[in-house]
């Protein structure tokens, strides 16, 4: 399954059409990314851009959009009705298909690192990428907005997650992270009294119904906080609204499905139908505002098929069934190819399962072969290990689902999940190694005429070299984690793919060795204490990797030789 990630940056510009177009063009310039929507708001002075595609291509597109925003948006003169703290204000990464939330967290971290390294703009991490509980909430991070940012950056409790606490007047700061796809979903009730829809909304939403006193005023607790009777469904926001459309007067339970994997859309629909029926009201259908992930609609189709005992296997048939069950054409025709995000991305990009990510193998190897010193050995080592992990994941996938290996499905499923996170960490390191090297080059170009300039240059060079050593060490650590799974996969995995385990182990060992060389070459630029720590740690990892890989490879060779 091809991985698809959505990104929905909010930029602090809703009036200048040339700037909005320039941002959109920058995003669209990235291969394997589809621009889905551009929605400016002049009152908010803000534009929301939606695009989706392959994971690392989406990161690149977000960087290109941010670069244009940093060039063209001046926060010192910005005014708008929406809370904001930066030119590229909030940039979330959202898993759509074939990718986990944890992997999207790693994408957001890579994005933040690139924003700081390439644009010099500090970043905060929120939602699932938050490193402290208080930073999970976007509103808390953004409190004080742009105007309060200079003081906020001085507060030890609000240092950026990525980058130094430096106030950049023109661009401010950026919040990034990973979150679930929010589905805007409305259920239609054939009645004009909105109080019924409101009561149903209160019943199903997570917050629940307000507790009222005898005079109809909402009750508060001893701390002044409003009291509620918790609602029936988790991860749901809802309210009742009146609606007149196409000559029809009705009401809606307007719902935000915050996490459709916790509470599926069809569960929301069923609950509204049940509550409406208890009031003697009819639900005529529902509507999706914006887009919906394919998985959410397929699950609705499966739910309907189970109710009707229908024998269906085709995913497109489930999509049609889901749309029918939810009555999504009640107010206007629901066209799957225009509302399901994966279908739109596939059409716009003509995606095939054989396409590569942001660079083809040919482009990457050509870049390595050029006279530029980066990408170099560190990036190649990380790439080697990432390919090794991919092979181990493949063998797990070729085993899971096969009836004769049923007793190991659960065990290898857990292994595959861990390996996927290893792979994303290693792919990010391909970029991080080049970023780190470029920071060293930047530090080396600093002036060194006066003693003060020399001291500043030395400090910057030490800091950059430390980072450039940490990156390959991390590659070694992650590669070793993955390599430790190889013996188990060789033992439990599909024997027809045993050679792939061997190649995977070889690639991981190659990645460890290559990263080890990159640790060693940087040691001379570090303090003696750092040299000792890195030398000992990296040597220990290299020796462990050598032992595990050679033992595993020898066992695989014996099995293959002896049939």
pLDDT recorded at residue 362? 67
Catalytic option among 89, 161, 330, 433: 433
User: Residue 352: is its pLDDT beyond 60?
Assistant: no
Report the alpha-carbon distance of residue 125 to residue 93 in Å, rounded: 11
pLDDT recorded at residue 437? 85
User: Residue 68: is its pLDDT beyond 90?
Assistant: yes
Q: What is the mean pLDDT of residues 182-192?
A: 93
**Same structural domain for residues 190 and 161?**
no
Q: What is the DSSP string of 230-296?
A: --SSSSEEEEEEEEEETTEEEEEEEEEES-TTTS-HHHHHHHHHHHHHHTT--EEEEEEES-B-HHH
Judge whether 357 lies within some domain. no
Catalytic option among 78, 82, 530, 537: 82
**Same structural domain for residues 383 and 523?**
yes
- Tell me the HSE value of 238 on the side-chain side, using a 13 A CA sphere: 34
Report the alpha-carbon distance of residue 404 to residue 89 in Å, rounded: 51
Query: What confidence tens digit (pLDDT) does each residue in 135-163 have?
Result: 999 989 999 999 999 999 999 999 999 99
User: Residue 88: is its pLDDT beyond 50?
Assistant: yes
- Tally of CB atoms within 10 A around 55: 26
pLDDT category, 104, cuts 50, 70, 90? very high
Of 91 and 455, the structure prediction assigns the larger pLDDT to 91
pLDDT recorded at residue 356? 32
Q: How many domains does the chain have?
A: 3
Judge whether 366 lies within some domain. no
Residue with tokens 């797990």: 396
**Same structural domain for residues 144 and 205?**
no
Task: Give kind and range of the element (H or E) at residue 10.
Answer: strand 10-11
Q: What is the mean pLDDT of residues 295-314?
A: 90
pLDDT recorded at residue 357? 39
Lowest mean per-residue pLDDT among 300-304, 406-410, 535-539:
406-410
Picking from 149, 178, 207, the residue at the C-terminal end of a domain is 178
pLDDT recorded at residue 301? 94
pLDDT category, 2, cuts 50, 70, 90? confident
Largest separation between any pair of C-alpha atoms in the chain: 86
Query: What confidence tens digit (pLDDT) does each residue in 3-61 have?
Result: 899 999 999 999 999 999 999 999 998 888 999 989 898 888 999 999 999 888 899 99
Lowest mean per-residue pLDDT among 213-227, 257-271, 327-341, 528-542:
213-227
**Same structural domain for residues 174 and 199?**
no
Residue 161 annotated to the active site: no
Judge whether 360 lies within some domain. no
pLDDT category, 350, cuts 50, 70, 90? low
Residue 433 annotated to the active site: yes
What CATH number corresponds to the domain at position 316?
3.30.70.670
> How high does pLDDT run on average in the chain?
90
pLDDT recorded at residue 436? 84
Q: Are 552 and 482 in contact (CB under 8 A)?
A: no
User: Residue 353: is its pLDDT beyond 60?
Assistant: no
Instruction: Quote the domain boundaries for residue 445.
Output: 371-561
């Amino acid at each position: 399954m091809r991985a698809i990630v959505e990104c929905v940056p909010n930029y602090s510009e809703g009036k200048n059409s040339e700037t909005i177009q320039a941002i959109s063009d920058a995003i669209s310039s990235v291969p394997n990314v589809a621009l889905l929507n551009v929605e400016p708001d002049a009152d908010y002075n803000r534009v929301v851009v939606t695009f989706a595609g392959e994971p690392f291509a989406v990161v690149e597109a977000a960087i290109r959009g941010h670069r244009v925003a940093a060039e063209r948006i001046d926060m010192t003169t910005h005014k708008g009705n929406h809370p904001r703290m930066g030119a590229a204000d909030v940039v979330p990464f959202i898993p759509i298909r074939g990718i986990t939330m944890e992997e999207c967290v790693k994408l957001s971290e890579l994005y933040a690192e690139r924003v700081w390294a390439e644009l010099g703009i500090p970043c905060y991490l929120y939602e699932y990428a938050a490193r402290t509980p208080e930073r999970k909430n976007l509103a808390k991070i953004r409190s004080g907005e742009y105007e309060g940012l200079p003081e906020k950056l001085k507060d030890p409790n609000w240092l950026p997650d990525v980058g130094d606490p430096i106030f950049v007047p023109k661009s401010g700061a950026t919040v990034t992270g990973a979150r679930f796809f929010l589905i805007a979903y409305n259920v239609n009730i054939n009645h004009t009294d909105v109080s019924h829809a409101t009561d149903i909304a209160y019943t199903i939403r997570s917050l629940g119904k307000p507790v009222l006193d005898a005079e109809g005023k909402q009750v508060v607790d001893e701390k002044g906080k409003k009291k509620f009777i918790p609602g029936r469904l988790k991860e749901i926001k809802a309210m009742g609204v009146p609606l007149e459309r196409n000559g029809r007067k009705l009401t809606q339970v307007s719902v935000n499905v915050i996490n459709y994997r916790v509470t599926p859309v069809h569960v929301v629909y069923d609950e509204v139908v049940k509550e409406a029926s208890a009031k003697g009201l009819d639900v005529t259908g529902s509507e999706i505002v914006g887009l919906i992930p394919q998985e959410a609609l397929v699950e609705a189709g499966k739910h309907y098929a189970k109710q009707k005992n229908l024998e269906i296997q085709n995913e497109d048939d489930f999509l049609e069934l889901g749309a029918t069950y939810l009555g999504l054409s009640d107010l206007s025709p629901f066209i799957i190819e225009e509302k399901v995000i994966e279908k739109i991305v596939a059409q716009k990009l003509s995606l095939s399962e054989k396409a590569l990510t942001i660079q083809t193998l040919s482009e990457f190897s050509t870049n390595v072969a050029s006279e530029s010193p980066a990408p170099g050995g560190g990036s190649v080592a990380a790439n080697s290990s990432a390919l090794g992990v991919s092979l181990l994941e493949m063998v797990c996938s070729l085993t899971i689902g096969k009836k004769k290996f049923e007793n190991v499905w659960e065990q290898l499923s857990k292994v595959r999940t861990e390996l996927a996170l290893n792979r994303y960490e290693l792919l990010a390191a391909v970029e991080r190694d080049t970023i780190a090297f470029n920071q060293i080059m930047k530090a080396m170009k600093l002036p060194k005429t006066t003693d003060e300039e020399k001291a500043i240059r030395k400090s910057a060079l030490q800091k950059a070299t430390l980072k450039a050593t940490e990156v390959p060490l991390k590659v070694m650590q992650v590669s070793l984690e993955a390599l430790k799974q190889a013996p188990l996969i060789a033992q439990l995995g599909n024997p027809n793919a045993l050679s792939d385990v061997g190649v995977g182990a070889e690639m991981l060992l190659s990645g460890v060795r290559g990263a080890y060389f990159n640790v060693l070459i940087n040691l001379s630029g570090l303090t003696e204490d750092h040299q000792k720590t890195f030398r000992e740690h990296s040597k220990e990892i290299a020796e462990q990797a050598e032992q595990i890989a050679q033992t595993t490879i020898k066992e695989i060779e014996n099995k293959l030789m002896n049939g």
